Amino acid sequence: MNKEFDIVIHGATGFTGRLVAEYMMARYPNGGAGSPGIRWAMGGRSADKLTAVRDEIGAPKDTPLVVTDLQDAASLQSLMRRTRLVLTTVGPYQLYGNELVAACAAQGVDYVDLCGEPAWMRQMIDAHEDQAKRSGARIVFSCGFDSVPFDMGVFMLQAQFKQQFGHAAGRVRGRVRKMKGTFSGGTAASLKATMAAASENPAVLEWLKSPFSLTPGFTGPKQPSGTKPMLDEALGQDVWVAPFVMAAINTKNVHRSNFLLGHPYGQDFVYDEMMVTGKGDKGQAIAQQIAADKSLGSEGGPKPGEGPGKEERESGFYDLLFLGEDGQGNQARVSVTGDRDPGYGSTSKMIAECAVCLLIESQNTLGGIWTPAPALGQNLIARLQTNAGLSFAVE
């Protein structure tokens, strides 16, 4: 069925949604030269706000605007009829995403989001995966800093390891070597909403604790907890690492990718993520400081809809290392770097490229609820390197 739009950016009046619209305007102008025919629209609840944001970011006056109230069934159905894919930046998803995922799964409409809420993701898998498989809807969660660079980094590392040694790396370490930039207000709000849900529902707490909460019916081996500072012998002598705040989300997504791909990383795959803090007493002190920091969920953090200015976003970056090894002493290393702050500048580019990749290059991806690596694969890595300021390299 031929639809009016390929992509509707739902939440285009929010901070991250606006960045996505700016990126689409620059990279895929509606009907512009160099555009592969991607027809996109800005979406949200208020026509006035959409018009104001369109003018503020300098988008052409004919940029389509789609007003949708997700609580109104008729409005939601109109959105489903008009677009092939919904890109949504409106979180926390456990508060604002239920109806949208249900509608996409029922109507065969593709969907990408920035979700870092594993308990909600599990609820959506249980409720809607069978329906999405029947309708052909490809629903891809976690298309921002959590968890694209980590999911794709492990995906590339495993391909490299198999090429070099003929089999998967049973143990992979994800290490954040450097990072400059803030986590988004949406991430902080999602954390608060998740904690509130966990206090009311014991099942949510179990899903948060289990590394395999997104692999229904499969539980792998015991995984490292990653909750305490420690010396990391794999990185060399006297190198300290600290807990990484996104690890609880990313590790679950990486295990789901392995599960959806049919366990090419092995059924006994072990994976963790930590932040590198340096050597000796100084590295230890920084690691302990990071472990004690609880500011992400505090009242002083960024609020949804707020974020850093252009200069701060553009001076941000990240450098990730993925170190794979097997039982025979073989090792391989892959790095992933990004040229913007992780929570906003890089995230807005990643989710846009995930959406375009899903529509243009992922015809073989069937309906279901996906993570980025099995849904988008090598095509996404190529696209992120060409367009979105990421680099993937074998070290």
121 and 170 in one domain? Answer: no
| Helix, strand, or coil (residue 84) | strand
- What pLDDT is attached to residue 50? 97
Structure confidence at residue 31 (pLDDT) = 57
Are the C-beta atoms of residues 395 and 333 closer than 8 Å to each other? yes
Question: Do the domain assignments include residue 382?
Answer: no
43 Cβ contact list (under 8 Å, min separation 6): 8, 9, 10, 11, 12, 50, 65, 66, 67, 68, 79, 86
Q: Are 214 and 252 in contact (CB under 8 A)?
A: yes
**Distance (Å, whole) CA 160 – CA 383:** 19
Span of 35-49, 97-111, 199-213, 376-390 with lowest mean pLDDT? 199-213
Dihedral sign, CA of 304, 245, 320, 125?
Answer: negative
Whether the CB-CB separation of 318 and 339 falls below 8 Å is answered with no
Contact of 193 with 291, CB cutoff 8 Å: no
Look-up: residue for tokens 């909600």? 120
Dihedral sign for Cα 113, 117, 123, 129, please. positive
pLDDT band at residue 301 using 50, 70 and 90 as cut-offs: low
Does position 104 have pLDDT exceeding 80, yes or no?
A: yes
230 shares its domain with 182: yes
Helix locations, 13-144, DSSP H:
15-27, 47-56, 73-82, 93-96, 98-107, 118-135
Same domain (yes/no): 153, 302: yes
Helix (H) or strand (E) holding 299: none
- Report which residue type is found at 84: R
180, 239: one domain: yes
Question: Residue 56's domain spans which residues?
Answer: 5-144+349-375
CB of 143 within 8 A of CB of 383? no
Judgement on whether residues 60 and 174 belong to the same structural domain of the protein: no
Q: What are the tens digits of pLDDT across the range 253-295?
A: 999 999 999 999 999 999 999 999 999 999 999 999 999 887 6
The residue among 8 and 315 whose pLDDT is bigger is 8
CATH number at residue 119: 3.40.50.720
Q: Across the strands, what pairs with 333?
A: 323
Give the pLDDT score at 310. 81
> Residue 90 pLDDT > 80, yes or no?
yes
Q: Which amino acid is at 389?
A: G
Number of structural domains (the chain) is 2
Instruction: Residue 11: name the closest of 77, 66, 75 by CA.
Output: 66
In a domain, 333, yes or no: yes
The pLDDT of residue 34 is above 50: no
Q: Is residue 285 part of a domain?
A: yes
pLDDT of residue 137 exceeding 90: yes
Residue 173, SS3 per DSSP: strand
The reported pTM is 0.94
Residues 283 and 207 occupy one common structural domain: yes
Judge if 210 and 131 occupy the same domain: no
In a domain, 381, yes or no: no
Which stretch of DSSP H or E encloses residue 325?
strand 317-325
Closest of 344, 168, 165 to residue 270, by C-alpha: 168
C-alpha 303/C-alpha 15 separation (Å) is: 10
Residue 100, in any domain of the structure:
yes
Q: In this predicted model, which residue has the larger pLDDT, 186 or 296?
A: 186
169 and 316 together in one domain = yes
CA-closest candidate to residue 79, choices 88, 51, 19, 53 = 88
DSSP conformation class of 114 = -
Tens of pLDDT, residues 211-244:
999 999 999 999 999 889 999 989 988 999 999 9
Say yes or no: 183 and 325 in one domain: yes
Supply the mean pLDDT for the chain. Answer: 92
Cβ pair 238, 273 in contact under 8 A? no
Give the list of residues 6+ apart from residue 96 with CB closer than 8 angstroms, or none.
Answer: 70, 90
Whether 384 maps to a domain, the answer reads no
Cα radius of gyration rounded to whole Å, the chain: 20
In tens, the pLDDT along 147-196 reads 999 999 999 999 999 999 999 999 999 999 999 987 666 667 777 777 77
Question: Angle, to 10 degrees, between the axis of helix 118-135 and the axis of helix 247-260?
Answer: 30
| Confidence band of 298 (pLDDT split at 50, 70, 90) | low
Stronger pLDDT, 181 or 367, i.e. the higher one:
367
333 shares a domain with 277: yes
More confident call, 86 vs 203:
86
179 and 97 fall within a common domain: no
Going by C-alpha positions, the residue among 306, 360, 339, 334 that lies closest to residue 15 is 306
Q: Per the domain annotation, does 380 fall within a domain?
A: no
285 and 201 together in one domain: yes
Strand-pair partners of 111:
86, 139
**Is residue 198 scored above 90 in pLDDT?**
no
Average pLDDT over residues 128-137: 98
pLDDT attached to residue 98 = 96
